[in-house]
Structure 1
Amino acid sequence: MQFVKTAFLAAATLAVTYGAHAQTADELIAKHVAALGGMEKIKGINSLVMKTKIEVMGNEAEGTQTLLTGKGFRSESEIMGNKMVQVVTDKGGWSINPMTGGGAQPIPEEQYKAAKDQLDIAGPLVDYASKGNKLELQGREKVGSVDAYKLKLTAKDGGLTTFYLDPNTYYIIQSVKQMNMMGQDVEMIVSMADYKKTDYGFVMPHTINTDFGGQFQIATKVSKVDVNTPVDTKIFEMPK
């Protein structure tokens, strides 16, 4: 009888622990949403146009990133006289890279899979369940000097990304995404800092450093943000 009682208490403890674990993850997301300006602000964003300064392998350039929420994302810059363009839409993507051969080319499926999150200004954490994603809180882990919350997100398509949240601000300070690049499985590590509130009231990082499996890095600084300005959808169409 004592064994049954002990087993019951152990099971109850596990159930409570699991429930608190899930609730804690959801509470973190709620605080993250509030830190960004709130759900109303996030869902009110139809478009975003950002002026950026980019550094790639020691070369600096100015660029423009244009997002039409859920429909298209375009990144354009000029490096060493070469115009670089990458476009992701809800149907696929394409790029122009003179260093790898001239005109517009469709991007590989694996690259598209890794890049399509850019269509969602809120990111995969916000409303994660309704997007078909699964979220697991995995305790804390040091990111630099920050003892960050570690959240493992499994996307609807099976993709894995680990997010690290600052316990004081609830901003994402780093994400680690598993992806395939040129036939190799690599980790794309994105570090985010210098969060600022836009005139619209949405808070976003203005310094973003991306490391593609140690093969190359891109440092991006946002200099200007315009929210809900008209966007011509033709900029997302692949040139023929």
Structure 2
Amino acid sequence: MKKMLLLIATTALLTSRSESALAQTADEVVEKHLAAIGGREALGKVTSRITSGSITLSTPGGDVSGTVESYAKAPNKSRALIKVDLSSFGAGQLVVDQRFDGTAGYILDSLNGNRDITGNQLDVMRAGFFPTPLLKYKESGAKMELTGKEKVGSRDVHVLQVTLAAGPTIKHFIDAEDYTLLKIVTTLNVPQLGGAIDQTVEFSDYREVDGIKIPHKTTASNPAQTFTITVTKVEHNTDIDDKSFSKPAAEK
């Protein structure tokens, strides 16, 4: 019995040390990533961002295109306005306006109907601190571990697994050479799609704007759809009315 207790205690001690060392290594990867995209000081000076560009949505019937505008404001407010021409499908224009005021989220959807954002999607949005969640992951109550190295295309990447306080898991794939973020995989529970799904977002074409490196091409995919966003304009520290992130009064 004493030997068994000693074995358990020793194993627990080794486990705690391994977790501590791993967390320290994860922190080092995070700091190198933050430095690579501009540094904590530069990131801390950014209070808001407005981006505009084009979006291409891949569907079984072919690709459709449109425009996208996104708004973000510290600490974690966000909004995305997407307009896609569906006239080739006989459906006119699709307009999706997704809003998050820091606590609650709402979607205005001309095709599928307006609705509140709930479940894991809401959890992820609440943890989406601007300008990058990795800047304040500890404050959010999330747990992070470095799970090893993998490949994204031909690039070696560090894999950081972040488990949010509310439960969802997000894997960050950070380039092992230049420490930019190449991909995020979020595991979400979506009952409408049959349960747990992986939503993948890939980032490329990094360009410097106001001292911060920002990906100008983003490709997102899940079992339901794939779309690519190409950014053409980025504005920082523009005054954005908080009301623009909230559920419209007419919908309350």
Report the TM-score, using the length of structure 2 for normalisation: 0.82
* Number of equivalenced pairs: 230
Q: CA deviation at 1:11?
A: 9.5
| Residue of structure 2 aligned with 1:146, choices 134, 155, 175 | 155
Q: Please give the alpha-carbon distance, in whole angstroms, between the structure 1 residues aligned to 2:69 and 2:119.
A: 24
Q: CA deviation at 1:159?
A: 1.6
Match of 1:106 in 2: 116
Q: 1:127 to 1:94 in 2, by over 3 A?
A: closer
Query: In 2, are the aligned partners of 1:176 and 1:187 still within 8 Å (CA)?
Result: yes
Q: CA deviation at 1:36?
A: 1.4
Query: In 2, are the aligned partners of 1:76 and 1:83 still within 8 Å (CA)?
Result: yes
Q: Does 1:176 align with 2:185?
A: yes
Query: In 2, are the aligned partners of 1:90 and 1:119 still within 8 Å (CA)?
Result: no
Query: In 1, are the aligned partners of 2:76 and 2:126 still within 8 Å (CA)?
Result: no
Q: Please give the alpha-carbon distance, in whole angstroms, between the structure 2 residues aligned to 1:234 and 1:21.
A: 42
Match of 1:4 in 2: none
Q: CA deviation at 1:163?
A: 1.0
Q: Does 1:56 align with 2:57?
A: yes
Match of 1:230 in 2: 239
Q: Please give the alpha-carbon distance, in whole angstroms, between the structure 2 residues aligned to 1:29 and 1:119.
A: 15
Query: In 1, are the aligned partners of 2:206 and 2:216 still within 8 Å (CA)?
Result: yes
Q: 1:59 to 1:10 in 2, by over 3 A?
A: closer
Q: Percent identity?
A: 25
Measured against aligned partners, the alpha-carbon deviations of 1:188-207 in whole angstroms (never above 9, x if no partner) come to 11111111110x21111111
Query: In 2, are the aligned partners of 1:165 and 1:174 still within 8 Å (CA)?
Result: yes
**Structure 1: unaligned runs, 5 residues or longer:** 1-6
Q: Does 1:96 align with 2:108?
A: yes
Match of 1:190 in 2: 201
Match of 2:175 in 1: 166
Q: Please give the alpha-carbon distance, in whole angstroms, between the structure 2 residues aligned to 1:173 and 1:208.
A: 10
Measured against aligned partners, the alpha-carbon deviations of 1:12-51 in whole angstroms (never above 9, x if no partner) come to 9877655543322111111011011111111211110001
SS across alignment from 1:168:
coil
Residue type of the alignment partner of 1:97:
D
Match of 1:46 in 2: 47
Q: CA deviation at 1:166?
A: 0.3
The CA RMSD over aligned residues, in Å, is: 2.4
Residue type of the alignment partner of 2:100:
V
SS across alignment from 2:33:
helix
Q: Please give the alpha-carbon distance, in whole angstroms, between the structure 2 residues aligned to 1:35 and 1:115.
A: 24
**Structure 2: unaligned runs, 5 residues or longer:** 1-6, 86-92
Residue type of the alignment partner of 1:85:
D
Measured against aligned partners, the alpha-carbon deviations of 1:53-109 in whole angstroms (never above 9, x if no partner) come to 1111211111210111125211112112232211112121111111113xx432233
